[in-house]
Amino acid sequence: MAKLIWATTTLAVIAVAVIVATLVRYQSLDPCDWLARDIADKQGLTLAMAEAKVRAGFLLEGTVQPSVDDCLLEWWSFRGNSVGGGE
């Protein structure tokens, strides 16, 4: 029982740390915001221009209202390309 409590507490602390780190970096828990902020930072755009670029990209793919999953997948892809140099 003590191991279960310790494991649960550890996972809760890790979850809180991840949430706080995400809020500090992106000021949001929305992956669409993460994508726009990363694009703005990497390409030297204003946040409004980066948000428009994200919306336009989704529209070109036929997605009028991107879901959290859509944005998360695009953000992972963008981050992966940034780290791996695949742009």
* Confidence at residue 66, expressed as pLDDT on a 0 to 100 scale: 94
In Å, how far are 10, 18, 31, 65 from 55, measured between CA atoms? 38, 27, 13, 8
pLDDT in tens, the chain (87 residues): 889 999 999 999 999 999 999 999 999 999 999 999 999 999 999 999 999 999 999 999 999 999 999 999 999 999 988 766 554
CA distance 80 to 35: 12
CA-angle at 35, arms to 30 and 37, nearest 5°: 95
CA distance 72 to 32: 7
* Confidence at residue 1, expressed as pLDDT on a 0 to 100 scale: 86
Per the listing, tokens 């529209």 go with: 59
* Confidence at residue 48, expressed as pLDDT on a 0 to 100 scale: 97
DSSP type of residue 61: T
* Confidence at residue 37, expressed as pLDDT on a 0 to 100 scale: 96
Evaluate whether 40 touches 50 at the Cβ level (below 8 Å). yes
Instruction: Please give the model's pTM, rounded to 2 decimal places.
Output: 0.80
